[in-house]
Amino acid sequence: MAGKVERAQTYFLRAVDGEGWELWGFSDSRRAHFIRRLAQPSETPGATVVALPAARTFCFATWLSTGDRSVAAEMLQLLLEQRGLLGRNSTPAMMDFRVVESRDSQSLAIATVLQPEFPAELALQRATRFEPSAFTLPLPQDRLVLWREQGRLAVAATRGRESIHFQTLGDREISENVALELKCIVLELEAHRLCHRFLGAVLWGDFSEEDAARIEKTVGLRVSRESIPAPSLPAPASRLVPPAVEALRSRKRRLDRIRKAVFAALALYAAAILSLIGYMEWQRFRVSKLQSEVRSQEPTVGAIEKTADRWRRLQWAVDPHLYPVELLHQVAKLLPAEGMRLTGFEVQKGKVLVHGEASTAPAAFNFAEAVKADPALRMFQWQMPSPNLRPDGRAEFTIEGEPKIAKID
């Protein structure tokens, strides 16, 4: 019966005999419980540990003349490259290894390498780990174990309870050729001292008594039949990452960096907008405060302006330079020696009118310019309308001076 999909759990995906997949879950108790069958790996509901079918990996076990793990990794990689099992330009995530046993400055290590052709359906971006399927099964001690994955036989051999070898076989059924292939595997492992003496063989899944009898006869091992057990999460975790998945993760990291940069830019933009709004509000507050201060000072300013205006009006009476006689003197001293005379001089409410007669119109204009330029008369704005020409050619003119200070009403 299918279990429920819970959020607080680790999902586990493994291949079954046929086209489907099994979805398992690991709760806080770390015990696996079956959830449901899936048609495609992409149907996994969240972060998932993927059990790589044996056909998608190959293993290489050997004794190394070192007990140093870092040196063991380099030696394994060199051996794999020499045998053509690993390219020189392969990424570190294409290979993983584990040390099964160490003794007398020697280490028994097993390397796991991804097959170059990796199925696109397993290139899941949400996959957190990729584990060889043999490492996710509770393998019995010193046994040869057979089960079916995706329509093919898979076999694993153990040294103690550690998987020392796993691979797929050339058939789905246990034929004579398969039994001979198993016999060769056992002999090779024993010849290289990679395993102890096998205590027997185990068939997981739908196998017949004839299958068990054929293996017993050919391989010489006692065979038992059991159902395939629930998976377990191996420790330590595998470092295998398919190149397609690594590309997806790199793209996601790049998009995350871009997204963070965009968010940071938006945050700075929002902060700038808020700062501008705050500054505008502060300026509006200051303007309002200044306006209030101006309105509160309006009576005082008005009184000062009235006082100043009265003093400007009194300037006509107290400033000697504005006396009519003094103004007439300043204008008269600008007359040329001949050809011009004044015919009238008036001061009407502060406005000065100078009437005169010139021998020619240009002479009248020259006199008006002299009045405008005189420093003693610059407190007036002077202008002269066009002079009137008499029949004898003489020009009658009037120069008007508007005071730049307060007028007298």
| pLDDT higher than threshold 80 for residue 110 | yes
197 with 330, same domain: the answer is no
pLDDT for 361-408, tens place per residue? 899 999 999 999 999 888 889 999 999 998 888 999 999 998 886 555
273 with 393, same domain: the answer is no
74 with 214, same domain: the answer is yes
**Closest among 143, 185, 147 to 161, alpha carbons compared:** 143
Query: Would you say residue 77 lies in a domain?
Result: yes
148 with 123, same domain: the answer is yes
Where helices occur in 144-242 by DSSP H, the ranges are 176-191, 209-219
Query: Would you say residue 16 lies in a domain?
Result: no
Alpha-carbon Rg for the chain in angstroms: 54
Domain final residue pick, 277, 311, 345? 311
98 with 126, same domain: the answer is yes
Query: Would you say residue 28 lies in a domain?
Result: no
Q: Token digits for 256?
A: 């995350």
Q: Token digits for 56?
A: 């998608």
pLDDT for 330-373, tens place per residue? 889 999 988 899 999 998 877 899 999 999 989 999 999 999 99
Number of neighbouring beta carbons within 10 Å of residue 218: 16
Distance of alpha carbon 322 from alpha carbon 328, whole angstroms = 10
Domain, as residue range, for 352: 321-403
**Closest among 77, 113, 74 to 94, alpha carbons compared:** 113
Q: Token digits for 377?
A: 């008369």
Ramachandran class of 105: left when φ > 0, alpha when ψ lies in -120 to 50, beta otherwise: left
Residue with tokens 């006692």: 222
pLDDT for 264-286, tens place per residue? 999 999 999 999 999 999 999 99
The residues pairing with 374 across neighbouring beta strands, listed in sequence order, are none
Task: Please tell me the least confidently modeled range out of 48-57, 181-190, 245-254, 339-348.
Answer: 245-254
Task: Please tell me the least confidently modeled range out of 44-58, 132-146, 313-327.
Answer: 313-327
Distance of alpha carbon 283 from alpha carbon 260, whole angstroms = 34
150 with 169, same domain: the answer is yes
The amino acid at 344:
G
The residues pairing with 184 across neighbouring beta strands, listed in sequence order, are none
Per-residue confidence (pLDDT) for residue 6, from 0 to 100: 52
274 with 363, same domain: the answer is no
pLDDT for 72-85, tens place per residue? 888 888 888 888 77
Q: How many Å from the N-terminal Cα to the C-terminal Cα in the chain? A: 112
192 with 286, same domain: the answer is no
366 with 275, same domain: the answer is no
66 with 177, same domain: the answer is yes
Confidence category of residue 147, pLDDT binned at 50, 70, 90: very high
Domain final residue pick, 311, 332, 349? 311
Query: Would you say residue 31 lies in a domain?
Result: no
Distances (CA, A) of 9 to 14, 31, 63, 233, 396: 16, 11, 38, 13, 114
Query: Would you say residue 397 lies in a domain?
Result: yes
Residue with tokens 């309870």: 161
What predicted TM-score, i.e. pTM, was given to this entire model? 0.62
Query: Would you say residue 173 lies in a domain?
Result: yes
CATH code assigned at 175:
3.30.420.40
Domain final residue pick, 311, 344, 366? 311
Number of structural domains (the chain) is 3
The amino acid at 117:
E
187 with 167, same domain: the answer is yes
CATH code assigned at 370:
3.30.1360.100
80 with 140, same domain: the answer is yes
Average pLDDT over residues 170-184: 92
Distance of alpha carbon 20 from alpha carbon 5, whole angstroms = 18
Distance of alpha carbon 12 from alpha carbon 3, whole angstroms = 13
